[in-house]
Chains A and B, each alone.
Chain A
Amino acid sequence: MTSVHADIDALKGLHEALVRYRHAQREVAGRGEEEIKVVRASLEAKASRWRAQMEQCQAEFGACQERAAQAAEGSAADGPTAGDDPVDCSGYARAVEQCGERLEQIRRWQQRIDAQASEFQGTASRFGDLLENDLPRTEEHLLALIRSLEAARRVQAPGA
């Protein structure tokens, strides 16, 4: 490389870097979108599991309350019997509450992600536009500069 052409070589290097950047950032943007989809699906799967768990807990709690009501009726009719423990449904109630809390926690994350993703959409769309339209134009502009510099040097060369 001669120092006379150092600027041309530098521009060629910049042009190559811009092309690599465009391809690499396209891949980054694609992975970013994929990551959002994956986490949304993961949260939905978790919510679905907790909903099923909630249904089961509610059914168990309901059955326990029924047993408690029957036991209470029996006690009222026959009087308390020694060894009869009152039916305690508090564990089932706690389990229902915990399922509800987990579902609520997931729902809050889903809402936050939706809000953040929606806010990000504008920026991502502008960046996508830059990668698809502006950057190729910038690369073309650089190529034109390189060509014009090379042409000027060829013209100058005989007399140089």
Chain B
Amino acid sequence: MVTRPDRDGDQQLRLLDDAWDKAAQHWHDGMSRQFEGGHWTPLLRESRGYLEGLHKLMDMLEAAERDTEG
């Protein structure tokens, strides 16, 4: 069964988040805080924004197909 791209994207973000949690257990110095602010947080913010937009659009495409069937 083919899943929607936005759902796969969510899943990928969860996997990355898990990897960050794992890394953060062993890496908590000044550099890690710098990395978090300079790279990690913007990456999360952009990813979430993109996936929310994609989710909305995919919902709309599904509704359009359903509504215009027949």
Contacts and interface: CB of A to CB of B under 8 A. Distances in A.
A42 interface: yes
A29 B9 CA distance: 8
A130 interface: yes
Contacts of B47: 25, 127, 130
- Name the prevailing secondary structure of the A interface residues: helix
A121 B9 CA distance: 17
Contacts of B64: 39, 43, 109, 112-113
A120 B43 contact: no
A113 B23 contact: no
A127 B18 CA distance: 21
Given A28-B5, A31-B5, A120 B68 contact: no
A152 to B, nearest CB: 12
Interface residues of B, number: 38
A13 B22 contact: yes
B50 A124 contact: yes
A32 interface: yes
Contact of A32 (B20, B27, B39, B54): B54
Interface residues of A, number: 46
A46 B4 CA distance: 23
A116 B57 CA distance: 7
B61 A126 contact: no
Contacts of A124: 50, 53-54
Given A29-B50, A35-B4, A123-B53, 19 more contacts: A9-B26, A13-B19, A17-B15, A17-B20, A24-B8, A28-B6, A28-B54, A32-B58, A35-B5, A43-B68, A106-B68, A109-B67, A113-B61, A113-B64, A119-B53, A120-B56, A126-B49, A127-B47, A145-B31
